[in-house]
Structure 1
Amino acid sequence: MEKERDHYVGGERDPFKGDPNFMTSLARGLEVIQAFTPQRRVLSISQISQKTGIPRAAVRRCLYTLGKLGFVYAEDGKNFQLRPRILSLGHAWLASTPLAKSAQPVLRQLSEMLNESCSIAILDGDDILYIARASSSRIMTIDLDIGSRLPAWSTSMGRVLLSHLPEEQLNDTLARATMIRYTSQTLGSVSELKEELKQVHQQGYALNDQELEMGLRSIAVPLFNSQGGVEAALNVGVHAGQVSAQELRERVLPQLQAAAQELSLLIP
């Protein structure tokens, strides 16, 4: 389910070409870092170059610099992986974000009450970014944790967040979406997705019924800031064989909405 991202620093897709204030070397370094994922923890120079579109010579210089700064290493000199120091890049943001910092007790309480996994995510580009999570059990074949990313269009939290975007921004986002058929139940077109997003906005929640992975159902609601804007989304994920879609709406949704009201008080 790993989603390939458009790179920012090479070829015709570079939107910053000609901008004298844009630091291409810094952008390349960040793109090299983002090439590593839970599914691809170890990468060679060639693999990073192929994934990002950055020339191999530039990738090598980026890795050399990141290695000297303690962010990556390669035992054999060829296959690189991130070092724990990389966590410092995101720690400052998480520590300074009231929701990410304060939501964990509410998430744990909700998870224990429902005996299910609960998460909070924000919209970051075309993806959702997990900023808090309480897991009761592993219900997906991929690991999800704080910092994990998934395509927004294919997730319950993502659809909640997309449904509150201004129309022009939503159209731009959906125009970039790669509608991968993850399961036989995945929505197959942008037009279907737009109709789904209208319904999500009207009803105030999104229910994803095995569209991202067979056996996984999830339901999500928005988290509002003090100005009434949607800041993040909260969801509960369940085993499809244990919890029906009807039970999600009737039993889980009211408790999810109550938790969302409490969490929204933490958002300025």
Structure 2
Amino acid sequence: MATPESDGFVRSFARGLRVIEAMGHSGPHTVASVAVATGLPRTVVRRIALTLCELGYAAITPDKGLRLTPKVLSLGMTYLTSLPFWGHAQRVLETVCLQLRESCALAVLQGHEVVYVLRIPSAKVMSPRLGMGSHLPIHATSPGRVLLAHQSPAFRDAYFAQADLRALTPLTLTDRAALTQQLEAVQRTGHAWVAGEFDLQVCGLSVPIHDEHRHVVAALSANLLVAEFDQARAEKEVLPALSAAAQQLSGLAPSFLAPAV
């Protein structure tokens, strides 16, 4: 594997990817803000941004800011949609979404966040608006807790040593001991319930998805409204359908969805 010190490491390419990742987060973005986010010199960021604009992966906004264009989706989605699992997962999520009449999503770990790799929205209006590619904090979301609960103790220790456990609402758990208790509960029950910790109006129920080796590589979640669901109702009305859908996906999920360790 190439490292920053090896001959096989292409520094300019790595810098370009860092700029794309930084611009993928909520904006607005400028050369200066991307330089701060990436730690790269402004002159380097400017050259990369202009290159991305020339290739159609980025654009300059009317106020002279920067934004990514939908073309960036082609970098990964062509490959993902070619996988048999992806078409199957799409159909399974569409079915459970129609059955529950709630938004459902498939999420994986990426660094200190979870990322939606597939999401089927319901007709209900939720805030914040989330979609495929959205990044969410691990500690304050149900898919994050399901995924973290099934990682190795060493992985969890490294996460807690580096993660920013900030309070996103007055209900967000930020204490490691309290979060560890929640992870232990996930291991016992096989699902995670989080209410009002990422957004006061939203709660979530998530279950794990395994690869063929029984490793948890993804989480299937239902996004619900706090005004309509408490934990007892969600576990009674939502969990059975969610668990059945997860069983249809487990064993078929590709191992590369697991986080790098």
Q: Which amino acid aligns with 2:104?
A: C
Indicate the residue corresponding to 2:141 in structure 1: 155
Paired residue secondary structure (2:247): helix
By how many angstroms is 1:265 displaced?
Answer: 4.7
Question: Is 2:189 the partner of 1:203?
Answer: yes
Q: Give the one of 29, 54, 60 matched to 2:40.
A: 54
Indicate the residue corresponding to 2:18 in structure 1: 31
Q: Is the 8 A contact 1:139 1:216 kept in 2?
A: no
CA distance 1:208–1:97, shift in 2 (3 Å): farther
Q: How does 1:57-206 map to 2 (within 5 A)?
A: 57-74=43-60, 78-206=64-192
By how many angstroms is 1:43 displaced?
Answer: 1.9
Question: Is 2:214 the partner of 1:228?
Answer: yes
Q: Alignment RMSD, CA only?
A: 1.9
Gaps spanning 5+ residues in structure 2: where?
Answer: 255-261
Paired residue secondary structure (1:43): coil
CA distance 1:37–1:65, shift in 2 (3 Å): closer
- Structure 2 CA distance, aligned partners of 1:204 and 1:62? 45
Gaps spanning 5+ residues in structure 1: where?
Answer: 1-15
Please report the TM-score for the alignment, with normalisation by the length of structure 1.
0.87
- Structure 1 CA distance, aligned partners of 2:132 and 2:228? 26
- Structure 1 CA distance, aligned partners of 2:154 and 2:180? 13
- Structure 1 CA distance, aligned partners of 2:171 and 2:61? 43
Paired residue secondary structure (1:103): helix
- Structure 1 CA distance, aligned partners of 2:172 and 2:48? 38
1:228-254 CA-to-partner distances (Å, cap 9, x unmatched) read 111211011111111221101112111
Aligned length: 252
- Structure 1 CA distance, aligned partners of 2:165 and 2:84? 34
CA distance 1:125–1:17, shift in 2 (3 Å): same
Identity fraction in percent: 35
- Structure 1 CA distance, aligned partners of 2:4 and 2:157? 24
